[in-house]
């Protein structure tokens, strides 16, 4: 019992400063971003359908397809720049282990296969889904801590890419490789009613392993790194999320969020390359089998 209380205290004391730091870092990124014009400013929708099958109090399995659609894009000096339209199709699948330490502290860990497809219909209408895609697996530990009616969350994603198909990688050696990006999201959920809660979180991306065979490949002055290629090393993206989650039924919930994403180029003195504004919707259905 004493160990549980001590663990709860340590989690709380660790989560609060990290949450404050995450929000401050996100705000600092935005402040710096306003001082520099990005190469691209775009707006897009981002949708997921999250189907969760719960087999026991500890084990569940998710299948989650996703779709991203860019409906507006601005480039400095370019008139009537067409939007990217459908630029990413996604599919997650894998188990999640959940351990409820007590009424306040819950630990989770997911191991997911992640398929990413990168259509390019706006510039190449003949592009096929099979032309540009990648295979990935993700390790996703999550800590949720409830305190004073709030839920503090720390989610880490180890995004590991092991296959990338595109026009620039022409050999099997180039397409089969390995890279890892560390993503950490720290946030807070505030219940407003029994059916509605508000969320605020910040997520940063940091490349920790670059693919050794392709990290130095270039197309002109541009490094062939980042999607749809292997991951780039160093800090490269920050996302700030805010919105509401609606519990429609005991099984169905809808999360509606605004996401402000800023992207940077670690290979070019962290040049600000993109602002992207997302309307982010996640519809979740939970099927309980026990």
pLDDT at residue 13 above 50? no
- In this prediction, residues 172-178 reach a mean pLDDT of 96
- In this prediction, residues 136-165 reach a mean pLDDT of 97
pLDDT at residue 34 above 50? no
- In this prediction, residues 172-197 reach a mean pLDDT of 97
pLDDT at residue 78 above 70? yes
Q: Which of 241, 193, 171, 213 is nearest to 23 (CA)?
A: 241
pTM of the entire predicted model: 0.85
Distance separating alpha carbons of residues 187 and 223, to the nearest angstrom = 33
- In this prediction, residues 211-215 reach a mean pLDDT of 93
pLDDT at residue 35 above 90? no
- In this prediction, residues 211-232 reach a mean pLDDT of 90
State the pLDDT at residue 282: 99
Each residue's pLDDT tens digit, 256-281? 999 999 999 998 888 899 999 999 99
State the pLDDT at residue 19: 52
What percent of the chain is predicted at pLDDT more than 90? Answer: 71
- In this prediction, residues 178-186 reach a mean pLDDT of 98
According to DSSP, the residues that pair with 219 across neighbouring strands are 222
pLDDT at residue 245 above 60? yes
Query: Which residue ranges make up each domain of the chain?
Result: 2-288
| SS (HEC) of the chain | CHHHHHHHHHHHHHHHHHHHHHHHHHHHHHHHHHCCCCCEEEEEEEEEEEEEEECCCCEEEEEEEEEEEEEEEECCCCCCCCCCEEEEEEEEEEEEEEEECCCCEEEEEEEEEEEEECCCCCCCCCCCHHHCEEEEEEEEEEEEEEECCEEEEEEEEEEEEEEEECCCCCCHHHHEEEEEEEEEEEEEEEECCCCEEEEEEEEEEEEEECCCCCCCCEECCEECCCCCCCCCCEEEEEEEEEEEEEECCCCEEEEEEEEEEEEEEHHHCCEEEEEEEEEEEEEEEEEECC
pLDDT at residue 22 above 70? no
Each residue's pLDDT tens digit, 89-136? 999 999 999 999 999 999 999 999 999 999 875 555 555 556 899 999
Mean pLDDT rounded to a whole number for the chain: 88
Distance separating alpha carbons of residues 277 and 243, to the nearest angstrom = 13
- Band of residue 84 on the pLDDT scale cut at 50, 70, 90: confident
Pick the CATH number of 2-288 from 3.40.50, 1.10.10, 3.30.1490, 2.40.128: 2.40.128
What percent of the chain is predicted at pLDDT more than 70? Answer: 84
270: Cβ contacts below 8 Å, ≥ 6 apart:
234, 235, 264
């Amino acid at each position: 019992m004493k160990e549980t209380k001590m663990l709860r205290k340590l989690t709380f004391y660790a989560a609060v400063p990290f949450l404050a730091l995450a929000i401050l870092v996100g705000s600092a990124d935005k402040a710096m971003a306003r001082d520099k014009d990005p190469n691209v400013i775009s707006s897009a929708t981002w949708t997921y359908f999250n189907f969760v099958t719960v087999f026991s109090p500890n084990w569940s399995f998710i299948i989650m397809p996703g779709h991203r659609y860019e409906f507006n894009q601005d480039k400095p000096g370019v008139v009537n720049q067409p939007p990217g339209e459908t630029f990413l199709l996604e599919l997650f699948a894998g188990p999640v282990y959940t351990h409820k330490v007590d009424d306040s502290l819950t630990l989770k860990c997911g191991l997911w296969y992640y398929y990413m497809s990168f259509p390019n219909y706006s510039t190449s209408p003949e592009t096929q889904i099979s032309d540009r895609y990648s295979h990935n697996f993700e390790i996703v530990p999550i800590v949720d801590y409830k305190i004073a009616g709030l839920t503090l969350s720390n989610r880490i994603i180890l995004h590991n890419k092991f296959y990338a198909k595109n026009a620039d990688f022409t050999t099997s050696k180039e397409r089969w490789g390995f890279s890892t990006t560390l993503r950490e999201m720290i946030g807070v959920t505030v219940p407003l009613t029994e059916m509605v809660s508000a969320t605020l979180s910040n997520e940063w991306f940091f490349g920790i392993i670059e693919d050794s065979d392709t990290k130095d490949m270039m197309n002109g002055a541009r490094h062939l790194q980042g999607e749809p290629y292997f991951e780039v090393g160093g800090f490269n993206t920050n996302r700030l999320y805010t919105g509401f989650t609606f519990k429609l039924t005991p099984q169905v919930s809808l999360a509606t969020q605004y996401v402000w994403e800023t992207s940077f180029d670690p290979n070019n003195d962290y040049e600000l390359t993109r602002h992207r504004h997302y309307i982010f919707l996640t519809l979740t259905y939970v099927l309980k089998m026990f």
